[in-house]
Amino acid sequence: MSESFEIKGGKKLKGKVQISGSKNSALVLMAASILTDEDVALHNVPDLLDIHTSIELLEKLGKKIEFVENRLVIQQTKNISTEAPYDLVNKMRASIIVLGPLLAKYKKCKVSLPGGCAFGPRPVDLHIMGMKKLGAKIKLDHGYIDAETSGLVGAQIFLAGKFGPSVLGTDNVMMAATLATGETIIDSAAMEPEGVDLANMLEKMGAKIEGIGTSTLKITGVAKLNGVEYTVIPDRIETGTFLIAGILIGENLTIENCNPEHLAYPIELLKNMGAKIEIKKDSIIVSKSENLKPFTVSTSPYPFLATDLQPFFTVLGCVIAGTSSISEGIYPDRFQYTSELARMGADIKIEGNTAVIKGVEKLTGAEVMASDLRAGAALVLAGLIADGKTVVDRIYHIDRGYEKLEEKLSVLGADIKRVEK
Ligand code: EPU
């Protein structure tokens, strides 16, 4: 039995929607709890599948967890384990984020290699290189990263690959370095807001980090980190999802509890295309925008256009007169879902790492399949604007990263329901 969304397109989205806490922030903040024996209390944690996978993993590693109404309390028990098994890493590749904290805290760990995902290879060589530079001995054995150290020592680490800095790689090395001896410099560090959130929480726990939010981080190791109470930042990708939904079909849609600064670049792009967007301190008001100009854009590391917003721009391009194009600068193969959009009448050609999108008069409802989280949510947006009924299958991908998506959309006026098939 699997679940699908059934959507009848054409309804306006009006009213207010509250953005949840950031999935990708919460996941790394939860992993950071491994660095301390004291309690970590997190507020604004979204209740979604990946968070539950992370809870399962932390429980396996010896944490006791209470999760009530978006507040998550993590406590240390005596049943410590340092192995992140395949069945959990396989469910959520972000589980690799326990590598740095386990190694720093317990001097050894075994973490399953994550493998690829629906939008292509997802290597972890930068994570491994970072740990090696900090003095860890690493063997790749039967699908596992087997790591140990007699004590991590600070180092200078250049942490970028062919596609730029690594978000979770930076977070892994940053966490490991907080308990290493001496000073670590991470050059070409990722600057994503979720990494900044992690650095801010680590500082509150007693870590010494300079250059937060820049591409060079200097971390001076300390002997021990303390417990902390901390609030997760709003989810910028969920914000972007509702923002584009509003441009497609909103009527004074108010997106609340968000941080528009984290979307400064895409908001500027959308405004330049003619989108009706009004920015407040922690909210955005957006309405359906007619006669938008076609766009040519590429995804890049923060502060530029996030790869996780790429599928939503593609859906937008589908209904803008003229030819738009979006290039993938992070995951060149992240276009699988465009064949599903084609089933809804979209005119998209993939040329290398670029989707060339010719606007069509309208999309038409069809049965389509989510191939990953963001692609799945983009198909939901396509369904909201399409003529007739759309069924999005395999919505477990969407449940991994969106808290109550169909409830939030229904409250705004969308005709969407979850059905069992
Ligand atoms: N890369 C390497 N070697 C590595 C690590 C990455 O070559 O060791 C490459 C990747 O293949 C990619 C680029 O570097 O081309 C950037 O990947 P990155 O490591 O930054 O990705 P990530 O940290 O594994 C996070 C988010 C993703 C988001 C990417 C890019 C989390 C939990 N995941 O992944 O979010 O797409 O950054 O911004 O933070 C999502 O939420 O749906 C999602 C996939």
Question: In order of start, what are the domains of the chain with their CATH numbers?
Answer: 3-19+234-420 (3.65.10.10), 23-227 (3.65.10.10)
Query: Is 117 part of the annotated catalytic residue set?
Result: yes
pLDDT band (50, 70, 90) for residue 254: very high
Calpha distance 204→148 (Å, rounded) = 27
- In terms of DSSP H, where are the helices of 112-263? 125-133, 167-178, 193-204, 236-249
Name the burial class of residue 106, with classes exposed (0-12), middle (13-18) and buried (19+) by CB atoms within 10 angstroms of its CB: middle
Close Cβ partners of 290 (under 8 Å, ≥ 6 residues apart): none
* pTM summary value: 0.98
Structure confidence at residue 117 (pLDDT): 73
Mean pLDDT score, 96-109: 98
What average pLDDT does the segment 316-324 reach?
98
- For the chain, give the mean pLDDT: 97
Backbone angles phi, psi at 148, to 5 degrees: -150, 160
User: What's the rounded mean pLDDT across residues 208-219?
Assistant: 98
pLDDT at 70: 98
- Nearest-atom number in ligand 1 for the CA of 374 is 42
Cα of 119 from ligand 1 centre, angstroms: 11
Of all protein residues, the one whose alpha carbon is nearest to atom 28 of ligand 1 is 308
Residue type, 316: L
Q: What is the per-residue pLDDT across 2-54, written as a single tens digit (0 to 9) for each?
A: 999 999 999 999 999 999 999 999 999 999 999 999 999 999 999 999 999 99
Q: Which residue has the least CA distance to atom 17 on ligand 1?
A: 166
Distance 160 CA to ligand 1 centre (A): 11
Across the chain, how many H-helices and E-strands are there? 14, 26
According to the model, what pLDDT value does residue 120 have?
Answer: 74
Cα 123 to averaged position of ligand 1 atoms, centre (Å): 9
Instruction: Give dist(CA 217, CA 202) in Å, integer.
Output: 13
To 5 degrees, how large is the angle CA 30–CA 107–CA 42? 10
Distance CA 80, CA 61 (A): 6
Looking at ligand 1, which residue's alpha carbon is closest to its atom 12? 330
Q: Quick one: pLDDT at residue 116?
A: 66
Percent of the chain with pLDDT over 90: 96
Name residue 208's beta-bridge partners: 220
* Residue 118's pLDDT band (cuts 50, 70, 90): confident
In ligand 1, the atom with minimum distance to the C-alpha of 120 is 11
Tokens 């807001």: give the residue. Answer: 193
Mutate to test the pocket of ligand 1, among 24, 159, 197, 262 (most ligand atoms within 8 A of CB): 24
pLDDT value at position 119?
A: 74
DSSP string, 189-206: ----HHHHHHHHHHHHTT
8 Å CB contact between 247 and 10: no
Tell me the pairing of strands 276-279 and 228-231.
unpaired
What is the 398 CA–ligand 1 centroid distance (Å)? 18
Q: What is the pLDDT of residue 122?
A: 82
Q: Return the CA Rg of the chain.
A: 21
Mean local confidence (pLDDT), 288-296: 95
Where residue 248 falls among pLDDT bands split at 50, 70, 90? very high
What mean pLDDT do residues 202-214 have? 98
Measured between its terminal Cα atoms, the distance across the chain in Å is 6
Kindly report which listed range (105-119, 202-216, 291-305, 345-359) carries the lowest average pLDDT score: 105-119
How many whole angstroms from 108 Cα to the centroid of ligand 1?
24
Q: Per residue in 362-398, pLDDT tens?
A: 999 999 999 999 999 999 999 999 999 999 999 999 9
Considering 109, 117, 258, 318, which one is annotated as catalytic? 117
Q: For residue 419, name the pLDDT band (cuts at 50, 70, 90).
A: very high
Apex 149 CA angle, 147 and 114, nearest 5: 20
Task: Name the token pair of 360.
Answer: 């069509």
Write the single-letter amino acid at 402.
Y
**pLDDT score of 421:** 83
Q: How far apart (Å, rounded) are the C-alpha atoms in residues 364 and 306?
A: 28
Adjacency order of strands within the sheet including 83-84: 83-84, 108-112, 144-148, 137-141
The alpha carbon of 334 and the centre of ligand 1 are apart by a number of angstroms equal to 12
Instruction: Pick the range with the lowest mean pLDDT from 84-93, 268-277, 390-399.
Output: 84-93
Atom 16 (ligand 1) nearest CA: 166
Kindly indicate the confidence band of residue 408, based on its pLDDT and cuts at 50, 70 and 90. very high
- How many C-beta neighbours within 10 Å does residue 208 have? 14
Residue nearest to atom 6 of ligand 1 (CA): 166
Task: Name the residue with the closest Cα to ligand 1, atom 31.
Answer: 24
Q: Alpha-carbon distance 336 to 328, whole Å?
A: 12
For residues 107 and 196, what is the distance between their CA atoms, to the nearest angstrom? 25
pLDDT tens digits for 151-206? Answer: 999 999 999 999 999 999 999 999 999 999 999 999 999 999 999 999 999 999 99
Pairwise CA distance, residues 194 & 74, whole Å: 20
* Ligand 1, pocket residues at CB < 6 Å: 24, 27, 94, 122-127, 161, 163, 166-169, 190, 194, 306-308, 330-331, 373-374, 401
The single-letter DSSP state of residue 34 is: G
